[in-house]
Amino acid sequence: MSKILALGAALALCAGAYADIETYLDCFYQPEVTPGDDNIVPDFNDGTYYTIDLRVIVCNDDDWTSAEATARIDGAKFFDHPLNDETPPWIMGQRLYPALEFDSFYCSTEADLYNNPPYTDPRFAEEHHEAQYRHAVWFDVPPNGGEGAFLIARYTIKALPEDLPVTFHVQGRNTTFDGGGTPYPFQFTCVIPEPGSLALLGLGLTVIRRR
């Protein structure tokens, strides 16, 4: 399923079922940095990096408030840029170190997916990361962007040819302001590389709240 089709399916679900939030995964794409090389990560354009984005679509005048996600990979390692932590990278720093854009991080929903970053730093209740494992609980106090399509987490993987195929798993839940803490769970798995897996939409795994 293409990225566009997955996004369209999520929008259709959100509109057709009167859901407050839908979660989808853009899995996977190979990023390239511009301009040229990041001298901290000089091999970034060598085709061994894969980026997976966890995204939400918020509907019905609601607002995202929190997320919990546990992610793991089999056969490779998560990429963490040496100059950043688990928060969105500093936009000015990307001019000198363009690979920062594809660091692994979590963010709030104040910056719309279709506008330019910077993405907004969230607040963390929990955060733990290892080479092949990530777990976080992050949140923000509304207003957080309201309706729209938003990036909430980015996972970049460093996988050498001998590491492939790599399996990525993520599961968790989102909450919204109108939902009053009701969890909207999600669960996704994708394999890198796998034809047709540029984007995956969780099938029947996002709870839909009807009004």
Amino acid at 124: F
Q: pLDDT > 70: what percent of the chain?
A: 78
Confidence of residue 1 (pLDDT cuts 50, 70, 90): very low
Tell me, what's the pLDDT at 8?
Answer: 55
- DSSP three-state, residue 99: helix
**For residue 177, pLDDT beyond 90:** yes
Tell me, what's the pLDDT at 112?
Answer: 57
Confidence of residue 137 (pLDDT cuts 50, 70, 90): very high
- DSSP three-state, residue 95: helix
First CA to last CA distance, the chain? 30
Tell me, what's the pLDDT at 111?
Answer: 65
Confidence of residue 194 (pLDDT cuts 50, 70, 90): low
Confidence of residue 17 (pLDDT cuts 50, 70, 90): very low
8 A C-beta contact, residue 40 and residue 82: yes
Report the CATH architecture of 3-192: Sandwich (2.60)
Domain locations along the chain: 3-192
Average pLDDT over the chain, rounded to an integer: 82
Residues 6+ positions from 100 with CB-CB distance below 8 Å: 38, 81, 83, 84, 89, 90, 93, 94
Average pLDDT over residues 37-66: 92
Q: Closest Cα partner for 112 from 69, 147, 66, 139? A: 147
